[in-house]
Amino acid sequence: MATIELQISAAAALLLLSISSVGNAQLIFDIMKYGATADGVSSIDQALLSAWKDACASATPSKIVIPPGTYPLGEITLQGPCKAPLEVQLQGTLKAPADSAQFKQDGWVTFQYLDGFTLSGGGVFDGQGKLAWSQNDCNKNKNCRKIINLRFNFVTNALVQDITTRDSKNFHVNVLGCKNFTFNRFTVTAPGDSPNTDGIHIAKVDGVNVTDSNIGTGDDCISIGDGTKQLHITGVNCGPGHGISVGSLGKTRGEEPVQGVWVKNCTITGTQNGVRIKTWPASFPGSVSDMHFEDVTMVNVGNPIFIDQLYCPWNQCKADIPSLVKISNVSFRNIHGTSSTAVAVKLTCSSKVPCENVEVGDINLTYSGPEAPAAISECSNVTPTFSGTQVPSVCAKEA
């Protein structure tokens, strides 16, 4: 008898498996069935955790649904490994506690140790950051609170699509240790003067794409940390904010190389910087290579093209000791529009490890400032190769 039962359940499992792979059937886990209410007041922490527990244990692909409505949600970690691919379809708006004191750690919603994950549904993660911004002391306190709306730790084969993150207390999204991870039609929004509200911070990843997305914040739209490999940013509108930045690098010991970043078909509007690679002086060694910036429109952007190996905010470093982060194999092609600073192209490389193999293609940047002299470039410790035309001329020898 025992053997027959075993055979039957094995056959049933096989049947289920074939249904899910052919018809893409997902088991649905609706949080309303787990006791959630959409009264806008009751938090859904318990309902979501219970739905997650069941969905994660499901041997067939599953989908957790959070229907339209507004739901308070406290600090939460949703973690795997799960038995099968899992989707969270957020149709409603989740609201974080406004008071940072209600958080024990540095993330609001954390997804971790997942393989085959989708976050979709058109919904919103609202970090309610206003109070936290007024209390932000990160420019003088190294141990300041950094509560991040969304954390993805060690998540592979994942898609985040049609999701908005708004008014995070600190960075909006942190992506760490992920592989084959795509953000598509992703929206990040926070006021231009909200401190440290970077859009997406990415580090120690292999294969991340950000496509057709809108990111406007008070800091970097996308910041790229050490150990980033194979990152494609395409069709992204960035601004307000500080632009798309690689770094800052070199401040901590043992940073992994940044290798393979493509920024293509993007529009950057009204930001402090455009596309930037920044490293600290007096730094630990490191490397940045294979960086390509192509088909980028700049609209009233400060420092549209910027390699800054003298990055030293708040005089936190010994600026006269050169950076040891080696930058090589970088290209800037077809970058055009307006610069809000007279210096439109600034390539400030390290005197100790000069930039190598920097290519400058078609550039057309016009200074849009009040006195409107022609835009200029500034270069040190770099000898680019050129193709096409450059307005302004780049790294021309002083007359």
Ligand X SMILES: *[C@@H]1O[C@H](CO)[C@@H](O)[C@H](O)[C@H]1NC(C)=O
Instruction: Quote the least distance from Cβ 24 to ligand X, whole Å.
Output: 12
* Closest to ligand X by CB, 17 or 374: 374
Closest residue to ligand X: CB criterion: 235
Please tell me the count of residues contacting ligand X according to CB under 6 A: 21
**Residue 364 contacts ligand X per CB under 6 A:** yes
Window 89-128: contact mask with ligand X (x via CB under 6 A): ----------------------------------------
Active site residue 336: no
**H/E run at residue 162:** strand 148-166
The angle at the Cα of 37, spanning 31 to 39, to the nearest 5 degrees, equals: 145
Instruction: Quote the least distance from Cβ 38 to ligand X, whole Å.
Output: 29
Q: What tokens appear for 190 in the block?
A: 């926070």
Question: What is the three-class DSSP state of 155?
Answer: strand
374 Cβ contact list (under 8 Å, min separation 6)? 367, 392
Question: What is the three-class DSSP state of 241?
Answer: coil
Catalytic residue among 172, 242, 292, 336: 242
Instruction: Quote the least distance from Cβ 208 to ligand X, whole Å.
Output: 6
In the block, tokens 């420092």 appear at 303
Q: Which of residues 153-212 bind ligand X (CB under 6 A)?
A: 157-159, 180, 182, 207, 209, 212
Of 185, 204, 229, 232, the one binding ligand X by CB under 6 A: 232
* Closest to ligand X by CB, 262 or 284: 262
Instruction: Quote the least distance from Cβ 123 to ligand X, whole Å.
Output: 18
**Residue 389 contacts ligand X per CB under 6 A:** yes
**Residue 285 contacts ligand X per CB under 6 A:** no
**H/E run at residue 4:** helix 2-23
Of 77, 334, 366, 381, the one binding ligand X by CB under 6 A: 366
Question: Is the dihedral angle over the CA atoms 138, 252, 331, 351 positive or is it negative?
Answer: positive
Q: Tell me whether strands 62-66 and 27-30 are parallel, antiparallel or unpaired.
A: parallel
Question: What is the three-class DSSP state of 137?
Answer: coil
Question: Is the dihedral angle over the CA atoms 179, 164, 106, 31 positive or is it negative?
Answer: negative
Question: What is the three-class DSSP state of 9?
Answer: helix
The stretch near ligand X (CB under 6 A) out of 19-27, 99-107, 231-239, 313-321 is 231-239
CA 333/CA 318 separation, integer angstroms: 33
CA 358/CA 290 separation, integer angstroms: 10
Instruction: Quote the least distance from Cβ 1 to ligand X, whole Å.
Output: 41
DSSP letter for 171, please: -
Instruction: Quote the least distance from Cβ 19 to ligand X, whole Å.
Output: 19
CA 325/CA 349 separation, integer angstroms: 10
Q: Which of residues 315-354 bind ligand X (CB under 6 A)?
A: 328-329
Q: Note the residues at the interface with ligand X (CB under 6 A).
A: 157-159, 180, 182, 207, 209, 212, 232, 235, 237, 265, 289-290, 328-329, 357, 364, 366, 389, 391
Q: Which positions are catalytic? A: 242
